[in-house]
Amino acid sequence: MKPLILITNDDGVDARGIRSLIDIARSYGEVVVMAPMCNASGSALSFTGMRPLRVETVSQESGCTIYACDGTPVDCVKIAQEHFCPRTPQLMLSGINHGSNASINILYSGTMGAVLEASMAGLQAVGFSLLDHSPDADFSPAEPYIRSVIDEVLHNGLPAQVSLNVNIPVPPDGQLRGMRVCRQSSARWADSYEKRVDPHGRPYFWLTGRFECDDNGPETDQWALENGYVSIVPTTPDHTDFRMLETMEKRIACLKF
Amino acid sequence: MKPLILITNDDGVDARGIRSLIDIARSYGEVVVMAPMCNASGSALSFTGMRPLRVETVSQESGCTIYACDGTPVDCVKIAQEHFCPRTPQLMLSGINHGSNASINILYSGTMGAVLEASMAGLQAVGFSLLDHSPDADFSPAEPYIRSVIDEVLHNGLPAQVSLNVNIPVPPDGQLRGMRVCRQSSARWADSYEKRVDPHGRPYFWLTGRFECDDNGPETDQWALENGYVSIVPTTPDHTDFRMLETMEKRIACLKF
């Protein structure tokens, strides 16, 4: 039987990036898409617990059914598995995201939130992002790399709870130089809120921000992307800082309650 | 000068848990609270980029100003630093959450999302959660432990980007047995959506779920909590699975594009 592939994203079911990913995935097997009805960028791993969810069928063709859900990417992964997948998916793909999910952007990304969610649910999961925010970005140069990663994961699998964060740069000369396995760069968003006043004299605040990354050694995803390589970071949902365990044990041992 | 402490949570500015944390924090220094106007549980690290934010002043007393924001906990941390803190906070505290943020719950938690956000922004940050979901939970047994952790972090600091996830159990006999430094347990949510039909004949889906954790050895937060200990997990925003780097490099080396 052909593999079942579950697809979601955070840019919404109509985004060009997810349509490109669907086209690629259809050549590998049966596809079920469950994606947010609207743009849900910056959803991280948020989920909907205080209201119910609605699901609409967008299209139904042989081997490819597309649903839209009025929840987050994590909601999409959760509800698709129980109610909309005919069997357990062999693979879960997310993206192709319009914009980078490298470095600390993984923490805010709904596209990668869905990937981490799927990996915790026991699925093989990969997220793809293109470093171009524009709605009409050209995803075609990324296709051979995306196919290689899908081939590789379908063939060799991933260990439990390990997923992949794949980012694809758009070099000035259009030439991708290859693929590198990397660690996640440390970075920060220098956020700034522009304070404005509404027509009734009340203040409101618009988020703007600048990405600042000094952690760009050759082993990092940021270096790879800046140098024309596709970056691939093996990711875990484990937030434990293992380097700190011993130190903290000593520090806590002195405490009195 | 007394330390400035920034406080947020995800249960909302009126929750009993944040009020307990404010009472504790006021004895350490000046307090600025910026918390969601409504319950924002399950917000993870989601942020608001597509609409502006509003901020209301809830109360203003000597040494303690409380604001409410119509965004997520991450929004609260971002906007408070730029526009509502008189200087850089020495400490950022989140909680006290009504319910566990141990194990993989850290990934969904807005309370811990705010902590990870603060740590990426360069603040010393600690999240506190009590394993009691009820709105009128009794937070008083947790107080000595919370004070010890605040004392410790104010005195010794935390390395860059390291934060703490502190969970406090409610043992059947009411006796907390101490505090243990732990790693984050692996686990899964066995989610289930109850399908219902609205008065117009259209289906909708309510999320329900059951927490399943088999990873409960004595080094885990789940073990600590089940055995009456306060768990303290040093946390990092780094999702890299370092154990997989070498293997993935070998696997990727074989790929053709």
pLDDT digits (tens, 9 = 90+) for B82-122: 999 999 999 999 999 999 999 999 999 999 999 999 999 99
**Per-residue pLDDT, B226:** 97
Q: Do A44 and B46 touch (CB under 8 A)?
A: yes
Per-residue burial over A12-27, b if 16 or more Cβ lie within 10 Å, else e, is bbebbbbebbbebbbe
Q: What is the pTM of this model?
A: 0.97
Any idea which residue has 């203003």 for tokens? B60
Q: Is the peptide bond before B96 cis (omega within 30 degrees of 0)?
A: yes
- pLDDT tens digits along B4-45: 999 999 999 999 999 999 999 999 999 999 999 999 999 999
Average pLDDT over residues A76-105: 97
- Whether the CB-CB separation of A34 and A6 falls below 8 Å is answered with yes
With a pLDDT cut of 90, the percent of chain A lying above it is 96
**Per-residue pLDDT, A100:** 97
Q: Using the predicted structure, report yes or no on whether residue A105 has a pLDDT greater than 90.
A: yes
Q: Do B45 and A107 touch (CB under 8 A)?
A: yes
Measured between CA atoms, the residue of chain B closest to residue A177 is B257
Does residue B177 belong to the interface with chain A, where contact is any CB pair within 8 Å? no
Any idea which residue has 């609207």 for tokens? A38
Helix (H) or strand (E) run with residue A135 in it: none
Name the DSSP class of A87.
Answer: S
- pLDDT tens digits along A240-255: 999 999 999 999 998 8
Does residue A184 belong to the interface with chain B, where contact is any CB pair within 8 Å? yes
State the smallest CA–CA distance between residue A64 and chain B in angstroms: 22
Q: Which chain B residues are within 8 Å of A248, Cβ to Cβ?
A: 164, 181, 232, 234
- Whether the CB-CB separation of B97 and B25 falls below 8 Å is answered with no
**Angle B71-B77-B82 (CA atoms, 0-180°, nearest 5)?**
105
Residue B12: other Cβ atoms inside 10 A: 18
Residue in B75, B207, B252 nearest the CB of A49:
B207
Q: Which chain B residues are within 8 Å of A12, Cβ to Cβ?
A: none
Q: Using the predicted structure, report yes or no on whether residue B191 has a pLDDT greater than 90.
A: no
Architecture of domain A4-184+216-253: 3-Layer(aba) Sandwich (3.40)
Q: Using the predicted structure, report yes or no on whether residue B1 has a pLDDT greater than 90.
A: no
Does residue B154 belong to the interface with chain A, where contact is any CB pair within 8 Å? no
Q: Using the predicted structure, report yes or no on whether residue B193 has a pLDDT greater than 90.
A: yes
Q: Which chain A residues are within 8 Å of B83, Cβ to Cβ?
A: 193, 195, 205
The mean pLDDT of chain A is: 96
Measured between CA atoms, the residue of chain A closest to residue B38 is A50
Average pLDDT over residues B63-84: 97
**Per-residue pLDDT, B255:** 86
Query: Which phi and psi angles does B248 have, rounded to 5°?
Result: -65, -35
Name the DSSP class of B243.
Answer: G
With a pLDDT cut of 90, the percent of chain B lying above it is 96
Q: Please report, for chain B, the start and end positions of each structural domain, with discontinuous segments joined by +.
A: 4-184+216-239
Measured between CA atoms, the residue of chain B closest to residue A256 is B148
Residue in A72, A78, A251 nearest the CB of B156:
A251
**Per-residue pLDDT, A211:** 95
Q: Do B238 and A178 touch (CB under 8 A)?
A: no
Does residue A251 belong to the interface with chain B, where contact is any CB pair within 8 Å? yes
Q: Which two tokens stand for residue A31?
A: 């596809």
Residue in A187, A189, A239 nearest the CB of B184:
A239
Band of residue B254 on the pLDDT scale cut at 50, 70, 90? confident
Does residue B136 belong to the interface with chain A, where contact is any CB pair within 8 Å? no
Average pLDDT over residues A82-105: 97
State the smallest CA–CA distance between residue A254 and chain B in angstroms: 9
Does residue A34 belong to the interface with chain B, where contact is any CB pair within 8 Å? no
Residue B185: other Cβ atoms inside 10 A: 25
Q: Do B251 and A188 touch (CB under 8 A)?
A: no
- pLDDT tens digits along A195-253: 999 999 999 999 999 999 999 999 999 999 999 999 999 999 999 999 999 999 999 99
- pLDDT tens digits along A145-158: 999 999 999 999 99
- Nearest of A213, A113, A131 to residue B46 by alpha carbon: A113
Mutate to test the interface with A, among B153, B240, B243, B247 (most CBs of A within 10 A): B240
Average pLDDT over residues A106-121: 98
CATH number of B4-184+216-239: 3.40.1210.10
Average pLDDT over residues A165-171: 97
**Per-residue pLDDT, A123:** 98
Does residue A123 belong to the interface with chain B, where contact is any CB pair within 8 Å? no
**Per-residue pLDDT, B184:** 98
Q: Do A204 and B52 touch (CB under 8 A)?
A: yes
Does residue A197 belong to the interface with chain B, where contact is any CB pair within 8 Å? no
Does residue B231 belong to the interface with chain A, where contact is any CB pair within 8 Å? no
Mutate to test the interface with B, among A240, A243, A247, A250 (most CBs of B within 10 A): A240
- Whether the CB-CB separation of B77 and B56 falls below 8 Å is answered with no
**Per-residue pLDDT, B257:** 78
Q: Using the predicted structure, report yes or no on whether residue B176 has a pLDDT greater than 90.
A: yes
Q: Using the predicted structure, report yes or no on whether residue B256 has a pLDDT greater than 90.
A: no
* Global ipTM: 0.96
Q: Which chain B residues are within 8 Å of A256, Cβ to Cβ?
A: 148
Q: Which chain A residues are within 8 Å of B251, Cβ to Cβ?
A: 152, 156
DSSP string computed for B22-73: HHHHHTTSEEEEEEESS--TT-TT----SS-B-EEEEEEETTEEEEEESS-H
Task: Report the C-alpha gap between A71 and A36 in whole angstroms.
Answer: 6
Torsion of CA B88, B91, B96, B97, to 10 degrees: 70
**Per-residue pLDDT, A28:** 97
Any idea which residue has 């967008």 for tokens? A58
Does residue B197 belong to the interface with chain A, where contact is any CB pair within 8 Å? no
Mutate to test the interface with A, among B10, B24, B43, B45 (most CBs of A within 10 A): B45
Does residue A217 belong to the interface with chain B, where contact is any CB pair within 8 Å? no
